[in-house]
Structure 1
Amino acid sequence: MRRMIATLTGATAAALIVPALATATPANAQSTQTVQTAAADPASALKSQFRVRHGVKLAENTKIIGEGGKNRSIFTRRSGVLEFGRSGMVASDLTTTFGLPTGAGNLKGLFVPSRTLSVKGSSYTSGGIYDDSMPEGKKWLRTKNDAVALVSPYQQMINIVEPATLKSTLTHTAAKRPGGTWDGTRTTVHSGTITLAELYRISPSVRTMLRKKPSGRSATLPVTWKIYLGSDQLVRRVVSSYTESTRGLNSTELTYVNDTRYTDWGVKSAIKAPPAGTVADFDELSIGADQSEDPITQLLTQ
């Protein structure tokens, strides 16, 4: 159970934006929008947004599809604010909710809404699967991160707030076309494919998520993507998908489709850790026996 909770904590990194802990309020368009000086490329445009206590709003939908045409799917929705410092993202405040297939039964309790604040190398999560295990008077479970990461197996694989990741991914562009209007600006959509091994090489957040270098079949796993760039070269939308295969006693194949929208570049933000008296660590939880099967797999293959 401890292993399952640790896994799903990363998977359900969440955040309902509560003013007492994190404020992210749009200022008027004149003051929040960094003046764009005809940025030569998307990575440069992104770096121009790296200002203390400013960030971007995120809204993401993920669909996890079971194998074999069973038409069983889990939907996740994630929304909130990513906050920047002078050299990149330094904090996030995000909410995750789930839409489960019919017949989820007892597993529904594992997929309740949760909120996660990631700040100064730690994440604080409230709600979710560990809520009933928290000590009396404690609301937030603290986990330590090697880096503040946006990516988990159930969220967007293409982390466009990492300039090097954005730049390298776009070198794999196979096609470009008009992408419609997003966040009030006309966009051009770039599309292509990148392997998991290449993402591991270029993306710090993917390295944090995977923990070890992919090898064999995993290394060549293709991640297809579309990146929508505005006329100011800032990303407004990213769509990616990949299919994960597990072969063994419980062979299964799951497909992940992620659609992320970025709006209000330059929004003001001041994300803070929760009060120390409301925070607990894993060794303080009341945890039952271990569970033999990942609940995501169980829901989509039963």
Structure 2
Amino acid sequence: MRRTIAALTGATVAALMVPALVTAAPASAQTAKTAQAAKSDPVSALKRQFRTHRGVKLTENTKIVGAGKKQRAIFTRRNGVLEFGRSGLVASDLTTKFNLPTQDGELKGLFTPSRTISLKGVSYTSGGIFADSMPEGKKWLRGRGDSLSLVSAVQQIISTVEPGTLKATLAHTGARRPGGTWDGTRTTVHSGTITLGELFKVSPSVRAMLGAKPTGRSATLPVTWKIYIGSDQLVRRVVSSYTESTRGLNSTELTYVNDTRYTGWGTKVTVKAPPAGQVADFDELTVGADQPEDPIRELLTN
């Protein structure tokens, strides 16, 4: 989402004594250049952070604006830690809070604060939309998936802790400029646009969120972004926005603006699953028949 210089006389003597080394010098020089380039590459800098029980702190603000009559908006705040292993992201522990529009009636109870722990392809959520549906004595709802998902409708769609996502997004850079100081380091902000279809191809978290490959207008949905990269080539901030539309009898339009900050790269992190006795599965829930399938859309567009 970052030199050893041979003495001229020494290099000359070596060239005179061993002519064969002359042909090897360009390769050696090229190796040095490649190593230096790798150190200045954000993707390589990210991969160097992939160490067991190390991670980064995350803070995120999201604004969701509806196209209804009153132009109401939901604000969310999410914070916690991400844990890395040798191959990349392996776990997370994140808490989400909502700041809802006024006069939201019964739906307000669906947006209570929640904490989600994700590891080994399993997520555990405490609080949130299903808090009142949990069986007695249970605090955590278990969900299973093929990959660790950090993305939902209220979270950052561009996950720059995924090397493939970071590389593909930066390939669409249209402009660069000074980005100010974040997490104690001066940054350069890269900006551009990438489509939802392109993100689906490269991002495990987007594939987990969508479930199915976007087609038609959805595949070409533009996601505008800004990525702030520090002098050590690590990402410090990501801002993205996109507008989701549906067409039909109940046409709606929602705009998502996500602002994610990364601090404390290299922080020691060990995420653990909650006690087994406090965990319930979806088939144990008591869910009311009148609960909306998409409470965010209903809240913002009705």
Q: TM-score range by the shorter chain?
A: 0.7 to 0.9
Aligned 8 A contact 2:187 2:229 in 1? yes
Distance 1:227 1:213 in 2: 25
Residue 25 of structure 1 is matched in structure 2 by none
Is 1:81 the counterpart of 2:81? The answer is yes
Distance 1:292 1:103 in 2: 17
Larger RCO: 1 or 2 (CA < 8 Å, sep 6+): 1
Q: Deviations over 1:80-127 (max 9, x none)?
A: 000000010000000000000111111110000000000111000001
Q: Distance in 1 between matches of 2:199 and 2:37?
A: 30
CA distance in 1, matches of 2:59, 2:144: 24
Distance 1:39 1:69, change over 3 A: farther
Helix, strand or coil for the counterpart of 1:165? helix
Listed as ranges, the gaps of 5+ residues in structure 2 are 1-35
Q: Distance in 2 between matches of 1:261 and 1:51?
A: 20
The amino acid that maps onto 1:39 is K
Shift of the alpha carbon at 1:38? 7.3
Partner of 2:210: 210
Query: Which residue does the alignment assign to 2:122?
Result: 122
Task: Select between 130-139 and 288-297 the one with higher mean Cα deviation.
Answer: 288-297
Instruction: Answer with 1 or 2: which has the greater Rg.
Output: 2
Give the corresponding residue for 2:51.
51
Amino acid at match of 1:204: P
Structure 1 CA distance, aligned partners of 2:45 and 2:191?
19
Q: Please give the alpha-carbon distance, in whole angstroms, between the structure 1 residues aligned to 2:251 and 2:99.
A: 24
TM norm structure 2: 0.86
**Residue 275 of structure 2: aligned partner:** 275
Distance 1:280 1:100 in 2: 28
How far did residue 145 of structure 1 move? 1.5
For 1:53-68, list aligned pairs within 5 A. 53-67=53-67
- Secondary structure (helix, strand or coil) at the match of 2:218 reads coil
Question: 1:151-209, CA deviations, whole angstroms, 9 ceiling, x for partnerless residues?
Answer: 11221011101111101110000000000000000000000000010000111111111
Contact kept in structure 2, 1:159 and 1:203, CA below 8 Å: yes
Cα distance between partner residues in 2 of 1:300 and 1:58: 27
Q: Does the residue aligned with 2:277 lie in a helix, a strand or coil?
A: helix
* One-letter identity of the residue aligned with 1:83: E
Partner residue, 2:28: none
The residue number in structure 1 matching 2:22 is none
Q: Do 1:38 and 1:232's aligned partners in 2 also have CA atoms closer than 8 Å? A: no
Once the two structures are superposed, residues 217-276 of structure 1 have per-residue CA deviations (whole angstroms, 9 ceiling, x without a partner) of 101100000000000000000000000001112111000000000000000111100111
Distance 2:38 2:110 in 1: 47
- 1:143 is aligned to 143
2:299 aligns to what SS in structure 1?
A: helix
* Structure-1 residue corresponding to 2:134: 134
Identical positions, percent: 76
Matched, 1:184 2:175: no
1:101–1:120 distance in 2 versus 1, CA, 3 Å: same
Please report the TM-score for the alignment, with normalisation by the length of structure 1: 0.86
Q: Structure 1 residue 40: deviation in Å?
A: 2.6
Structure 2 CA distance for aligned equivalents of residues 205 and 253 of structure 1: 23
Query: How far did residue 129 of structure 1 move?
Result: 1.6
Tell me the distance in 1 between the aligned counterparts of 2:208 and 2:297. Answer: 22
Number of equivalences: 267
SS at match of 1:218: helix
Over the aligned positions, Cα root-mean-square deviation in angstroms equals: 1.5
- Does the aligned pair in 1 maintain the 2:292–2:298 contact within 8 Å? no
Query: Displacement, 1:288?
Result: 1.8
What is the Cα deviation at residue 293 of structure 1? Answer: 5.2
Q: Paired residue for 1:104?
A: 104
What letter matches 2:201 in structure 1?
A: R
| C-alpha contact 2:68 2:300 (8 A) present in aligned 1 | no
Shift of 1:52: 0.5
Distance in 2 between the 1:198 and 1:131 partners? 35
User: What amino acid maps onto 2:162 in structure 1?
Assistant: E
1:247-266 equivalent positions in 2, closer than 5 A: 247-266=247-266
Please give the secondary structure, in 2, of the residue aligned with 1:146. Answer: coil
Structure 2 contact 40–232 (Cα < 8 Å) conserved: no
* Aligned counterparts of 1:161 and 1:112: Cα–Cα separation in 2: 27
Question: Residues of 1 paired with 2:94 and 2:119: CA distance?
Answer: 12
Measure the CA separation in 1 of the matches of 2:123 and 2:205: 14
Uncovered stretches (5+) of structure 1, i.e. residues with no partner? 1-35
Please state whether the residue corresponding to 1:154 is helix, strand or coil: coil
SS at match of 1:271: coil
Structure 1's 132 and 291: CA in aligned 2 closer, same or farther, altered over 3 A?
Answer: closer
